[in-house]
């Protein structure tokens, strides 16, 4: 709607995990480096936590893009609220095996065979579980058991568990699983300076080089959003829409305050 008015080629503040719009704060860079290290070194399990809207899902998509397909077989589970048997079936499905048996013994044997085949091909098997705080208690135990698949002191499968802060406390209840998480990182919100750079970066990626959010407007956005990317996106997107409908030249602080007030 407002693309042509402001001069954008794409919508700059969509809340979808599009790797093209990934802004690399120092924390995002570190989180990405830790996850890549965990997978390439076959560390068993890694844990990434962050508040709602902090960019965890987008970071996971960028993470996947950085892993060469020839070297990694990757499964992605985005709805992990599954009981152990269904979770095991989903693991197999995500790595390309649509198995219909309900025998856990058979499922584990098939998985073990696939993992060994990948090792022979010098491929690593990676399973990313998003929204991992939704994993049922019994399924956490299943994940611990899956980490028993090892060969020559190396894990045959690496898990990357991504979720909200409470995931850390959930995992602590399973000491053996907790001890196998080699890499941990908590993704914090952006600071004030990063918020400015984030907004500028996304607008430039969308095709606009001229700043239409003055510094006092960005300050209002930061105070409201507390540096959470999803909240920044919501305010900026609506401000651009209202600015277009009222024929503004820039997005002033009064307009930002109105958008925020309407959002409360």
For residue 251, give every residue at least 6 positions away whose Cβ sits within 8 Å of its Cβ, in sequence order, or none: 212, 213, 214, 217, 236, 239, 240, 243
The full set of domains in the chain, from first to last, is 26-187 (3.40.50.300), 190-263 (1.10.8)
What is the tens place of the pLDDT at every residue in 184-202?
999 999 999 999 999 999 9
Instruction: Assign 261 to helix, strand or coil.
Output: helix
Report pLDDT digits (tens) over 129-179. 999 999 999 999 999 999 989 887 789 999 999 999 999 999 999 999 999
* Whole-number percent of the chain with pLDDT over 90: 93
Distance, in Å, from the CA atom of 168 to the CA atom of 254, rounded to the nearest integer, reads 40
Place of tokens 């900026």: 236
pLDDT of res. 1? 79
**Segment holding 48, helix H or strand E:** strand 45-50
Please state the separation of Cα 197 from the chain's center in Å. Answer: 20
| Averaged pLDDT for residues 200-224 | 95
Question: Which one, of 177, 173, 138, lies nearest residue 161 by Cα?
Answer: 177
């Amino acid at each position: 709607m407002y693309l042509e008015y402001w001069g954008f080629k794409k919508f700059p503040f969509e809340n979808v995990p599009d790797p093209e719009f990934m802004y690399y704060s120092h924390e995002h860079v570190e989180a990405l480096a830790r996850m890549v290290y965990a997978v390439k070194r076959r560390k068993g399990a890694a844990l990434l936590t962050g508040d709602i809207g902090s960019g965890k899902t987008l970071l996971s998509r960028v993470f996947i893009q950085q892993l060469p397909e020839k070297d990694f077989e990757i499964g992605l589970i985005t709805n992990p609220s599954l009981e152990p048997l269904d979770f095991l079936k989903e693991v197999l499905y995500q790595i390309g095996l649509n198995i219909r048996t309900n025998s856990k013994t058979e499922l584990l044997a098939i998985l073990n065979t696939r993992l060994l085949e990948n090792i022979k091909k010098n491929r690593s098997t990676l399973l990313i579980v998003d929204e991992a705080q939704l994993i049922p208690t019994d399924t956490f135990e299943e994940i611990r058991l899956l980490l028993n698949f090892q060969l020559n002191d190396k894990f045959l499968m690496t898990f990357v568990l991504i979720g909200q802060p409470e995931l850390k406390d959930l995992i602590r209840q399973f000491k053996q699983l907790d001890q196998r998480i080699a890499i941990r990182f908590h993704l914090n919100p952006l600071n004030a300076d990063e918020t400015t750079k984030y907004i500028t970066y996304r607008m430039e990626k969308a095709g606009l080089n001229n700043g239409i959010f003055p510094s006092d407007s960005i300050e209002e956005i930061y105070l409201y959003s507390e540096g959470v990317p999803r909240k920044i996106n919501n305010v900026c997107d609506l401000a651009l829409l209202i600015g277009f409908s009222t024929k503004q030249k820039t997005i002033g602080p009064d307009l930002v305050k109105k958008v925020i007030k309407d959002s409360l």
